[in-house]
Structure 1
Amino acid sequence: MTPTPNPVQALQQRAGASIISGPWPTYSQFKGFPERERWTIYELAKAGRRAMEEKGFEMSEPYDAFVRRITQELQL
């Protein structure tokens, strides 16, 4: 019996780069933090995404949508 492929691994684009389709971490639980800490979390979220992209992962969520979602969740 052939194992069922992982759906994330099954999606391929450009030279075999995996497309990461989620689920995405949510940041709304941090909206009560002071603004300075929320900006730090925002920068960490962007750095995490950038690191994954540098490793060759392709995100299904466009960057603009990612930034819009994170800023809304953190109320920035």
Structure 2
Amino acid sequence: MTPTPNPAQALQQRAGATIVAGPWPTYIQFKGFPERERWTLYELAKAGRQAMEDKGFEMAESYDQFVRRVTAELEI
């Protein structure tokens, strides 16, 4: 059984990579925005994740999970 990550311990080390286990930013508060702005927020979320990965961070949330979560929260 895997314990729920403690937000205070969101950054973990594994084989030289820093793993971000959450908590994740939420985008649900933007679901009422016009569709164009929601797509812009989605692109910004993807760019932010990519920037972190480019810096050597590894996400505990898979990319597919990330995409499903963000698109559901933004209702796109």
TM range (shorter): 0.7 to 0.9
Aligned length: 69
Indicate yes or no: 2:55 matched with 1:55.
Answer: yes
- TM-fit CA distance, 1:7: 2.4
Q: TM-score, normalised by structure 2?
A: 0.85
Q: Which residue of 1 aligns with 2:14?
A: 13
Q: Which AA in structure 2 matches 1:27?
A: Y
Q: Which AA in structure 1 matches 2:61?
A: E
C-alpha distance in 2 between matches for 1:7 and 1:73: 25
- TM-fit CA distance, 1:13: 1.9
Q: Which runs of 4+ in 1 moved over 6 A?
A: none
Unaligned runs of 5+ in 1: 1-5
Unaligned runs of 5+ in 2: 1-7
Q: Deviations over 1:30-49 (max 9, x none)?
A: 00000000000000000000
Provide the aligned C-alpha RMSD in A.
Answer: 1.1
C-alpha distance in 2 between matches for 1:8 and 1:25: 13
Structure showing greater radius of gyration is 1
Identity across matched positions, percent: 70
* CA contact 1:20–1:58 (8 Å) conserved in 2: yes
